[in-house]
A and B are shown apart, each in its own frame.
Chain A
Amino acid sequence: MKFTFSLKPENFIIERDDERCIRCGACVQQCAYNAHYYLEEKDKVLGINHNCVGDGRCVAICPTNAIRIKQAENPYRPNYNWTKERMMDLYEQAENGTVLLVGMGAPTPHPVYWDKIVLNASQVTNPSIDPLREPMEVKTFLGSKPDKIEVVFDKNHKPEIKTRITPQLELEVPIMFAAMSFGAISLNACKSLAKAASEMGTFWNTGEGGLHKDLYKYGKNTIVQVASGRFGVHVDYLKAGAAVEIKIGQGAKPGIGGHLPGEKVNHEISVTRAMPEGSDAISPAPHHDIYSIEDLRQLIYSIKEATDYEKPVFVKISAVHNVAAIASGIVRAGADAVVIDGIRGGTGAAPKIIRDNVGIPIELAIAVVDERLRKEGIRNHASLIAAGGFRNSADVIKAIALGADAVYIGTAALMTLGCHVCGMCYKGICNWGIATQRDDLTKRLNPEIGAERAKNLLKGWKHEIQEMLGAMGINSIGSLRGNRLNLRAVDIHEPYLSILGIKPAGA
């Protein structure tokens, strides 16, 4: 039985300036959501508002700038409790009885503390530094640091470090590309990020999708992920990367597994993941060999054994209520870095209800984890990497001042490739050739251009970070790490002030 009695309001209105439109057909051909069509008898190009997802592809490509996309008004009676979105969701579920899927990070109005934290600058009492003319170090090493360093002198009084330093990742800029699997995103998107990372001296992450044969050459700048589905995981894969990341959780979907729908599993993906074409790629919610911190230690050390102790092993979790205690356990389990993904972290597909309601903001998580590890005297045993909705270099530098060593950017990285955060990634027909495996769509993303643009973003952010450091009178990012005195809060109140461990502005 199929019946519909719900109003199905559109989200966007497509406006076209008919005077300008030259009937080139670009919008018609390019919109995978079929939001434009050509009406031959009237020689007009028309829009289907209902189909528009607002990803801006047509606006960007229209040669005469004829298209405007506007937000559609709420056709329902305004109601604070029953917003348009809630009503639409409910009607959809009444029809299908399904779990609602979404892509990208939570758009919910959970407070973004970054916007309420301000940075310090030097005035009179200490000089600021000009990064254009003076050295300014932003190089960062990720990995476990020894408690002390023993130096011995040989006969000729030459010093030599006796302490064995465990493997480290060397980052020219403390920003890496977050885990996004080949599967969730296209090979061209992976290539863009891999190339950008290797040219900028930072790292990209395979996500749980194995490593495509074309990407092995970026191995030196690759972090390979091991998640519960163990797709594409074998010794050569573990050894191909510079570090191995065990994924326990993801900010957008804490506590639940992954699920790449069968229709996305095409030939290349099936080869890379070593699974049949067209079969669902299901990652179980937990790793079934990890039911405790002791088990996690076992997986960490099995990877270290398999890679002959040559690669740092990261553990990624989503920021949840007991994140500080969990992070402490992870460090004690032997991880070289803890990755924490906050509630605003992105995804290719997740149940909406989980994405929007589970987890805690990354700002609070960084603060409590750094604090806890310091108090326990184990902060040096592992690096802390933060992720989840970083939008600009100020967010990054604030995260570092709160206690992170480096950050992962996912959504921001995809935006350099054209993503307009439409949130339709789970449909697999991304107009920008990113979250799709359809050949006609993926070829729209040129990996050379993509890499250039992703590189530009990192360059820009690096310069900005240097400027902000210089303004604070600091000449090395290491001196800012966990230096919360350089942060002040505007309009943040207790208890969050003490959780963040920063003073209110003016104090």
Chain B
Amino acid sequence: MIPIPVDAVPASSLNFDLYFERERGAAPVLYRKRWHPLEQADLERLLKRGVQTLYVPSVDQEAFREQMFEEVCQDETVSPERRYKVLRDVNRVVFDMAFRGRESEDLMSLLSSLAPQLAFVICREDLVVRDLFSLMEHDSGIYTHCVNVAVYCLILAAALGMTDMAELEELAMGALLHDIGKRHVQLAGTKQMSGLTRQQREQLQRHPTVGFQELVLRDQYTWAQLMVVYQHHERIDGQGSPVGSVEHEIHPWARICAIADVFHSITSDNAVRAPLTIEQALNVIDQQAGASFDREIAKCWNTKVWKKTSSRKS
């Protein structure tokens, strides 16, 4: 069950079930079946009774996220404050979803125990939430991608031995913002590179620089976070962009993010090509280790995180 503050729940017909605690600490029971109209007066009554939290069942996470996206993105009459609250909850749920289903491995269960706390901290950071909100308004696909990449970065960093929570949070925030420069690229309808105008292509290629330029003026982000944004398309062999930096000139967090970024991009559905299977994607990472990716980090991702042995001779 995902807890949602009552004041973040929209008064409308919802496409997910809602649960509540009849008594404090009791197991949540059904409050409203999906599509049953929910009115502002109902929510106010709950608050008057001291019920501050409603719950959405885990199976309805997707539906919840979808409806909340619509709620915040499409209704211009919603006040900024309310949009903000809603996004915060959606964010937590997306994060939670990204962690789920991977609990079988030891590492995954460790991380999923950290997930709610991490998600909470990230959502608490007003600035990150605001930036993510504008990204979500621009393109919810990029937003989902960023959240997933952040999760992969955390998993990979933990597998590499990063244990400090503050450091993990810092990395997660950087990763959440890694594609923030894309929010200025108008891609309306065109997802295929070949369908883009030259100007769009140039803008897209410049997104690490644009993102860096924007965040560096904020005085809120650390250099390591800025390097995640600026260097996540650099390659170990110097063939990346924007600078063509090599090996250790690329910040370790950017090297982590590069793998997480490509892995999520090639395994997720988009208009350009069909998603690769995990097995195929791991082969891509393996083949590109030492060229696109840091060899050690790629090895850790494949063998420690996904328990895959290399098909290549080293």
Specify whether A and B are partners: no
Please report B residues at the A interface, Cβ cutoff 8 Å: none
